[in-house]
Chains A and B, each alone.
Chain A
Amino acid sequence: MAHGPAKGFTRWLYTTNHKDIGSMYLWFSFAMFLLGGVFALVIRAELFEPGLQIVEPELFNQMTTMHGLVMVFGAVMPAFVGLANWMIPMMLGAPDMALPRMNNWSFWILPFAFAMMTSTLFMEGGAPNFGWTFYAPLSTTYAPPSVTFFIFAVHIMGASSIMGAINIIATIMNMRAPGMTYMKMPLFVWTWFITAYLLIAVMPVLAGVVTMMLFDIHFGTSFFDAAGGGDPVLFQHVFWFFGHPEVYIMILPAFGIVSAIIPTFARKPLFGYSSMVYATASIAFLSFVVWAHHMFTVGMPLAGELAFMYMTMLIAVPTGVKVFNWVTTMFKGSMTFETPMLFSIAFVILFSIGGFSGLMLAIAPADFQYHDTYFVVAHFHYVLVPGAIFSITAGVYYWLPKWCGNMYNETMGKTHFWTAFIGLNLTFFPMHFAGLSGMPRRIPDYNMMFADWNMISSVGAFLFGAAQILFLFNVIATIRGGKKATDEVWENPEGLEWTVASPAPYHTFSKPPQVS
């Protein structure tokens, strides 16, 4: 196994190497991030002013739907899997992922799935237009014909996720170097371990719900049709049983990343390691019993409203433990503010804002007011953009020197950070106010009274978009050259990945290290 990578294009097609596969996941995810970003900018351009100017309402709906789907399934999830591929074997002292061929298969399904999904934009009747949550009967009785392609795309990307998750679990359970006990694993590995269980538990449920849609659409069943004794609300229950754990799938690995970065730049060990592990596990466990907080206004019995409300609020406790631990890690540390650290600190602050708006939404009677307004849009963008996306970005800056052996340009990195930081707050903070004053989500036109907030949001969105070009440029420049990175890269960072050379050799740990 002493060889380097194969030559030519087939290296990428046939590879079984976790680093190659990790890189492909990350590049794929970035491409999807840009595509989803373009859809978002179409939305923001239309909403720059009241009135209809750029796109027809029909296309607007396709844009909101495709934006959500592409970002969730194409950008955020594959990026985390890419990081897992690169880092988990190196962090555990393993030679590769446990099932290397299946690993490559999990990746290569994705480009096909998304080609299929994106091709719906060019089909008769247009792309899916029912929102990323695809509620029946909008997605069944009233859906465009392309919904069939959407369903099958979800099926195969679900298969990809399940195989990826199985691989991660097998790697973590079976490939740890001698001495690497579970409670010595880096938190990124722990959070991914738990995330992988969430994936295996809920992706099949997503497959189940799209299968029921498929049968309602093409084979005359009446799962979501009250006329035949079914119930459209059934769709929402099954979807959110998948959907809420899904949002945690998009944030738990993020917790792992910032838990790696903050100690390095605070020059202190992570505060409360084991409480972090237990908090992650509790969040994952609770995520299965809160799904109906997305359905407070659908007409559930009072007992249901109350149960789901209290369970949801309970999640704030382990989440609070985590935020407390990050802050305490930084407390009295000798901190420096390199780009990964800037992104991580912003993560802690802005993710907390998203957590607080989440708590507001969790209060059922209050949610009757906020539901389906821009306040919800503000909430989930605060947890996803400075949450998931910022953590991924931080992780890329943090590990990039290890991957390619060169230091990135710090000035450009910081510029990227501040542009993104200002851009995203300009975009999403005003949405809280627009939402609280009643602006509904998913509409192409709106009342004059919301005009100011929307104009600010649109300006911010284009700024945020521009910042990502800088990111792309910085990454490419780093891969092609730049100051050589040392093996440790940072000052005394913790973890096995820093014990190998920079750039990390094609095969690391063919012989497992002994962990003391």
Chain B
Amino acid sequence: MSSNQDNAVEHEEYYVPEQSKLPIFASIGLFLTVWGAANWLNGNANGPMYFFGGSLMFAFVLWNWFSIVISENIQGLNSPQLKKSYVIGMAWFIFSEVMFFAAFFGALFYVRSLAGPWLAGEGEQGLGNDILWPGYEHEWPVMTTPDMAANGDSATMRGPEQNMSNPGLANWLGWLPFWNTAILLTSSVTCHIAHGALKKDNRRQFNLWLGLTVLLGIGFIILQIEEYVHAYNEMGLTLESGIYGATFFLLTGFHGAHVTLGTFMLLVMLLRSVLKGHFKSSDHFGFESASWYWHFVDVVWVGLFLYVYVFG
């Protein structure tokens, strides 16, 4: 077990940046952002200032961070081994995101299939029903909350007036979530085609298909906003509409936030390709990681479409 020259030749040097100002400023930016958010939510007047100042700083640092990483790669500092570190990092980052969504899906399943029936008096777990929530019957979506069942008009925790669930196969063509599914699935395909074009060094095709993917992403976001506006204004469905509103908006909302981030990532990749001519058939992990993220967001949507909308 001693160091040995011959073997060192095979192993290229692993680039360790000397020092970096990025992390400490990223930490300060992140801290100011959450400090501001907490103050804002608690009604302190200076909250928004810290929040926006911090977010700007954070975004600025991240922008620089990515620029530096890109230019290091262009300078050829990144050995194949180092590149693999980025690949592993991205893969496990996506796994952590999967687990974040798993928490919300878990909450949905638990409430729908276990806690709800118990609240309505099912089995031994439901023994308190007569005293606590008399008259509550469990159905999903929960339109009549336990509070409404027990306290009628004086209830404060009220369900939605209408819900987003499956209107029946015959009506799917007029159903927004169906179109959103079509858009997102298509965008996964276009993203994949773009990747294929890049691998063949076909820049024109790559830009075209990637551009189409970005447009589809934006289309999805617009429809989602449309859906939310409709829910709030016409369906009486809000965050405060009992457990249905809570699960509906948190699941679709966090997903929407991820779509927005994913679209932004793909847009940056498009601009890098169009304006700077970045990416080669042999070296394009920046794009590839954005495309992985995009496919992940897509898969989450399929779960949402099934469990929030179709069987919702």
Contacts and interface: CB of A to CB of B under 8 A. Distances in A.
Interface of A: 1, 3, 6, 10-11, 13-17, 94-96, 98-102, 104-105, 107-109, 112-113, 116, 145, 148-149, 151-153, 155-156, 159, 162, 165-167, 169-171, 173-175, 178, 200-205, 207-209, 211-212, 214-216, 218-223, 225-231, 233-234, 237-238, 241, 299-301, 496, 499, 507, 509-516
B30 A156 contact: yes
Contacts of A178: 7, 10-11
A184 B142 CA distance: 55
8 contacts: A145-B42, A166-B93, A201-B95, A205-B100, A205-B103, A211-B250, A220-B238, A230-B246
A298 to B, nearest CB: 10
Nearest to B155: A227
B20 A101 contact: yes
A175 B14 contact: yes
B102 interface: yes
B88 interface: yes
Interface stretch (B105-113, B162-170, B201-209): B105-113
Nearest to A302: B124
Interface stretch (B21-29, B188-196, B260-268): B21-29
A96 B18 CA distance: 12
Q: How big is chain B's contact interface, by range?
A: 35 or more
A156 B34 contact: yes
A299 B2 CA distance: 60
B40 to A, nearest CB: 9
Contacts of B8: 511-512
Main secondary structure of the interface of B (DSSP, over half): helix
B122 to A, nearest CB: 10
Contacts of A149: 35, 38
Given A14-B23, A112-B27, A174-B88, 4 more contacts: A16-B19, A105-B22, A212-B107, A499-B1
Interface string B59-82: 000000100000000000000010
B131 interface: no
Nearest to A500: B3
B16 A511 contact: no
B307 to A, nearest CB: 16
Given A98-B88, A222-B246, A223-B107, A112 B22 contact: no
Nearest to B245: A221
Interface in B76-123: 81, 84-86, 88-89, 92-93, 95-97, 99-100, 102-104, 106-107, 110-111, 115-116, 119, 123
B305 interface: no
Interface string B150-185: 000001110100000000000000000000000000
Interface of B: 1-5, 7-8, 10-11, 13-14, 16-24, 26-28, 30-31, 34-35, 37-38, 41-42, 65, 81, 84-86, 88-89, 92-93, 95-97, 99-100, 102-104, 106-107, 110-111, 115-116, 119, 123-125, 132-133, 142, 145-147, 155-157, 159, 238-240, 242-247, 249-250
B16 A227 contact: no
A348 B102 CA distance: 36
Contacts of B16: 1, 16-17, 95-96, 100, 507
B28 A112 contact: yes
A148 B85 contact: no
A166 B41 CA distance: 31
Given A100-B17, A207-B100, A227 B7 contact: no
A227 B157 contact: yes
Contacts of A223: 107, 243, 246-247
A124 B38 CA distance: 14
Contact of A116 (B31, B155, B238, B244): B31
